[in-house]
Amino acid sequence: MKEFELIQNIFQASVMASTQGREDLLLGIGDDCAQVQVPQGQSLVFSMDTLVEGRHFPFDADPVDIGYRAVASCVSDLAAMGAKPAFFTLGLTIPQSDPQWLAGLAQGMAELAEPIGLALVGGDTTKGPLTITLQVHGYVEADMAVKRSAAKVGDDIYVTGLLGDAAAAVPIVTGELQVSSERFDYFYERFWRPQPRLIAGMALKRVVHAMMDISDGLAQDIQHILKASGVGANIDAGRLPMSAQLRQWQPDSAVALALTGGDDYELCFTAPKEQAAEIALITQTLSLPCTKIGEIVAEAEGFVIQNYEGEIRGWQHF
């Protein structure tokens, strides 16, 4: 199949969320550029992620799983800004034109993109080692986008969800480790089907100071907030939220996985102490676990992790 046929026959039909009645989309797939009209009072935010076979996902992985995870990992950045998903573009490098494989990838993308209103509006396809690049676009009120640079001394530090499961799943999904079928199913799902916290991000943006998603490990990612805000942090590793499955399976390394493992795509945010009740109301309404794990301190006090003696290095690309 030629490049245009790939996009037209597979991705436009299978991935693109319904655009009927969308006043913000002026021109979609089929022209040199997409054209959108940003709604009045909103600003456009966008982020890009690249996934490489053998680096970010195993060789011969199910294309449906790859498609879902590609969208989830990129959309998580929108959640961290408190933004509503709008559109995405797809850069796809593939070793060969395999319509069945591409249909699976499109199916996985649609599994998440359609329910959240994320529409495919363009992209590019080329031949080479399997590489998937997504750029997602979203809308947020111009003065409401949550940044990494606004953490304040005295803020509480929170994380949503559970940490460590995805990192623990890596040797399972790569086939390096054999486990029971029940354990396999749980951890396989935790790796391939992360849940970007979009609704939580949109709700929390009005009460938090700084926020980001956890992709490279909590201990590493939170330092981006500290550096951007010019503050320090005191975290209690004993408070990290972990699943019973992880604690039972990896009792000696569960804390390290939760702290440094990455691939969780949960939210880490800081907020004033007086917002604790509102944060509890929001997260309880969403049935979303949310745990206070520490406090923002003065920069001179540094970055301290209590009840942990291991290394704090997270994911490194180089």
CATH code of 227's domain = 3.90.650.10
Q: Is the pLDDT of residue 22 over 90?
A: no
- The 10s digit of each residue's pLDDT in 254-276 is 999 999 998 999 999 999 999 99
- Annotated binding-site members for ATP: 123-124, 148, 215
- Annotated binding-site members for Mg(2+): 32, 47, 49, 77, 124, 213, 216
Residue 190 belongs to some domain of the structure: yes
Q: Are residues 178 and 259 in the same domain?
A: yes
What is the total count of domains within the chain?
2
Do 266 and 159 form a contact (C-beta atoms < 8 A)?
yes
- Annotated binding-site members for substrate: 56, 263, 315
3-state helix, strand, coil in the chain (%, to 5): 40, 25, 35
Q: Where are the beta strands (DSSP E) in the chain?
A: 25-27, 35-36, 42-52, 84-94, 119-127, 131-141, 156-160, 210-213, 231-236, 267-271, 290-298, 303-306
Beta carbons within 8 Å of 266's beta carbon, 6+ residues apart: 159, 160, 161, 162, 163, 197, 213, 214
Residue 148 belongs to some domain of the structure: no
**Which pLDDT belongs to residue 96?**
85
Q: Is the pLDDT of residue 244 over 50?
A: yes
If one compares 96 and 86, the residue with the highest pLDDT of the two is 86
Do 197 and 288 form a contact (C-beta atoms < 8 A)?
yes
Q: What is the mean pLDDT of the chain?
A: 91
Helices 165-173, 181-192: inter-axial angle, 10-degree rounding: 110
**Which pLDDT belongs to residue 12?**
65
Question: Running DSSP on this structure, what letter comes out for residue 83?
Answer: P
- φ/ψ (deg, to 5) at 177: -135, 130
Residue 187 belongs to some domain of the structure: yes
Residue 318 pLDDT grade (very low, low, confident, very high; cuts 50, 70, 90): very low
Neighbours of 77 (CB within 10 A): 22
- Annotated binding-site members: 32, 47, 49, 56, 77, 123-124, 148, 213, 215-216, 263, 315
Q: Are residues 108 and 227 in the same domain?
A: no
Give me the domain span that covers residue 211. 155-306
Residue 253 belongs to some domain of the structure: yes
- The 10s digit of each residue's pLDDT in 94-151 is 998 888 899 899 999 999 999 999 988 888 888 899 999 999 999 999 899 999 999 9
